[in-house]
Structure 1
Amino acid sequence: MPQDVTGWLVENTSRLDRLTAGGSCQDLRPFGAALAGVRVVGLGEATHGTREFFQLKHRLVRFLVREAGFTTLALEASQSAGRALDAYVQGDDSDPATLLGRLGFWTWRTEEMLALVTWMRTHNQSATSDRRVRFVGIDPQRSGASIMYITDFLRRVAPEEAAATWAALAPLLDARPGGLPDPQQQLRASAERLLDLLTARRAEFTAEVGTAETDAAIHHARVLVRSADLVTLPFDASMFTARDRYMAEAVRAVVDGADGTAEKAVVWAHNGHVSRGHYMPGVPALGWHLHQHYGDAYYALGLLFGAGEFRARRGRTMRRPPVPHRISKPGAGSLEAELAQAVPHNHFVDLRAARTASAEVRDWVGKQYPHRSFGANVPRLIYRLNHSPTVPARDYDGLAYVSTSSCSRPLP
């Protein structure tokens, strides 16, 4: 690494004094300073099963809520089931562990995520109305909660529609993306007819059960339209493209005030989704869409790690439980190795600062590097080779490096 680059990293890197929430936030001030004018922060993760990533992101969420006025946590999880978890955050008496399980992903049913949503609830108990925080899911898959809500709603306001709606949309209860061929697009057409029905009779239904319940039903119907599209697309680039586009639309609906209030949002997802580049070749990432819309008001923070363990499912099956996977220190030439060489401890670096740095530094952040990327499932024997190419200046606005990874802790 050129001396200018090493020197720039040492000078512009902020050491993270700790990863866990609580106590002083002095070491996070440089991160906060980098967010001037930012309305959406994407918090990534190189694995879905690293305890330290979750702990650090919890700490960053607290900081963003308390110090920077962020009021929404948008998670890569079921948009349907997310509403019940938000009700808990707002004070509803529910079991948060059960609600986390209903989000549809084993990745979020952890001690670390439980600690975060419990804190959100506690924060709201004393926060003023304009500083209360809410939880939203942004993924249209796993839409069973929407079907259940709408069926119950129709039984009360339009019972003649309830049975037919259930019969038409029940296939969505257990469907996964790309797993439900629908060449005639009957499923999506059924979801669109439902949305048209609710919209056309909105005044009638509002008079009967109130605005909140009617608006919730319309929200769920919109989710079902997206879900029907997602699960009936082939399991190829078209499906992945639709998923990230729909997640970006869900974030924009919150931030731009489509539901009546403008917000500043934290987006919690994998590095591949929060990246300003592509999730995979030919597939613009969630973060790409947000950057196109918000420009520098969107800030993508990638989280990387050195060595240790993480949890993931082995192979392609969705039935096996996640297990620990060991990983050694990053190989020479990787982005992680470059960062660790200059600054081996836990740290944050604002890549936007490189825009005014020397030519050598701008060249360094503009090159392509391999960096580790592990999803909910990893290959059986060659997972250690799982890397994705990245150009730091193109894909991320900042990076956080955690030297040691340990497994996230599943709830009982």
Structure 2
Amino acid sequence: MSDEVTRFLVEEMGFSVLAMEASASAGPAVDAYVRQGVGDAAGVLAGLGFWTWRTREVLGMIEWMRAYNRGRLEDQKVRFVGVDPQKCGGSLAVLGSFLRQVAPDREAGLLAPLRVLAEAHPGAHPDPRRRLVRDAEELLGFLRGHGPDAADALRHARILVRAADLVTGTRQHTNPERTVFAARDRYMAEAVGELLTDPSTKIALWAHNGHITKGRYGGAVPAMGQHLHARFGDAYYALGLLFGSGSFRVRRMWPGPWSRPGAGALGTHRIGPAHPGTVEARLATANPGDHVVDLRGAATAPTAVREWLGGRHHTRSFGAVVPRWTYRFHLSPVSPAEEYDGLAYVAVSTASRPLPAS
């Protein structure tokens, strides 16, 4: 569904960027492939660092972008951008190459403390003193004195500052806005905003519904979409993706504090129709086939419809990870008209198809 919507936005609506909840460090390699044909599609896709994207479906999207760009003028080509500061090994490689050219004597001292950021998960090294953040900021300050030739290096250094903040932050706090989850969504929103310095830019943004929503997710974390809606108003259109029955790929985690990011068995799981009363069940009752509902037209809908769209309901919430055994009953509260501008419903979902390991 995301693929079809994006192709429509590019071909019919003049959209020029596909931004994804994926490594900001590795994004330039994908962009070089789709715009200039550098490298190969499967290789640059693997570099994004998220198993959720390493699928035949996303590979097809990347290859379509390359085919669309072939033969077009540079300013007519569609770009690819990653907006997540996680998985920043690519930035470390770029900065290492730059420092070896301009200050080889400083490379080891500036980068050695930061190499832990390459694969570390948010909250992996909680540190109230924020030593990694200070190390990243020292590198950023050093690069600022190297003029316009350091522009690309500066961009990667800023990614490291954000990554260091996530890695040293806390996953739990009495104020949800001070957790690494809130910081991650804020940084992703900032990355999207940086792309919009040119007012003609139009972005198709791929992320989990929890990040796309104009409200909060996980109970109280301000979502990326909330930041974007506050900054850009109705120019931001939040499209939630829901499904009825079918299958999906996911990691199943053991419950309790012994679970850790990246662990858990990865497999395909099947599920029947949504529970009565959920948003998915109501959509299926109204229209059992695939469809899209534009919620911005709710103001002119019948009273009963407006009241339902503005009320609190539940929707299934499957991400990259679900709890074992109980995931079938995993529901999240949502107010459809307040949190989304539109809902796309797929009656029968099929699991993504993983690419073979290289």
Q: Under TM normalisation by the shorter chain, which class is it?
A: over 0.9
Q: Following TM superposition, where does structure 1 have runs of at least 4 consecutive aligned residues deviating by more than 4 angstroms? A: none
Q: Does 1:165 align with 2:110?
A: yes
* 1:113-192 pair list within 5 angstroms: 113-192=58-137
If asked which structure has higher relative contact order (CA below 8 Å, sep 6+), I would say 1
Indicate whether 1:350 and 2:288 are aligned. Answer: no
Alignment match of 1:224 (pick from 156, 160, 171): 160
Matched, 1:307 2:251: no
> 390-399 or 275-284: which moved more?
275-284
Q: Pairwise mapping of residues 17-28 of structure 1 onto structure 2 (< 5 A)?
A: none
C-alpha separation in 1, matches of 2:72 and 2:215: 36
Q: What is the rounded CA distance, in whole Å, between the counterparts of 2:332 and 2:109 in structure 1? A: 46
Equivalent positions of 1:8-87 (< 5 A) are 56-87=1-32
Mapped to 2, the partners of 1:169 and 1:67 lie a distance apart of 43
Q: Which residue of 1 aligns with 2:191?
A: 250
Kindly indicate whether residue 49 of structure 2 is the aligned counterpart of residue 104 of structure 1: yes
Letter in 2 for 1:385: F
Taking a change above 3 Å as real, the CA distance of residues 158 and 262 of structure 1, as seen in their structure-2 partners, is farther
In angstroms, what is the RMSD of aligned CA positions?
1.3
CA separation in 2, counterparts of 1:280 and 1:379? 14
The equivalent of 1:370 in structure 2 is: 314
Q: Distance in 1 between matches of 2:46 and 2:264?
A: 16
The alpha-carbon deviation at position 262 of structure 1 amounts to 4.9
C-alpha distance in 2 between matches for 1:321 and 1:118: 29
User: Structure 2-normalised TM-score?
Assistant: 0.93
1:86-106 Cα offsets, whole Å, 9 max, x none, are: 111112331221221121110
Amino acid at match of 1:390: V
Separation of aligned partners in 1, 2:334 and 2:184:
21
Q: 2:252 touches 2:321 (CA, 8 Å); kept in 1?
A: yes
Q: What is the one-letter code of the residue matched to 1:269?
A: A
Q: Within 2, Cα distance between the matches of 1:135 and 1:295?
A: 24
Q: Distance in 2 between matches of 1:100 and 1:292?
A: 32
Residue 391, structure 1, aligned to residue 329, structure 2: no
Any unmatched runs of 5+ in structure 1? Answer: 1-55, 207-213
Conserved? CA contact 2:37–2:66, under 8 Å: no
1:329 to 255, 263, 273: 273
The answer to whether the 8 Å contact 1:254/1:262 transfers is: no
1:321-348 per-position Cα deviation (integer Å, ceiling 9, x unaligned)? 5201111101110001101111101001
Could you report, residue by residue, the CA deviation over 1:371-397 in whole angstroms, capped at 9, with x for unpaired residues? 011111111101101111110011100
Give the aligned partner of residue 209 of structure 1. Answer: none
Match of 1:279 among 217, 221, 229: 217
Unpaired segments of 5 or more residues in structure 2? 254-258
- SS of residue matched to 1:163: helix
Paired positions, count: 345
Identity %: 51
Residue 355 of structure 1, CA deviation: 1.5
Following the alignment from structure 2 to structure 1, what is the Cα–Cα distance between the partners of residues 104 and 271?
Answer: 56
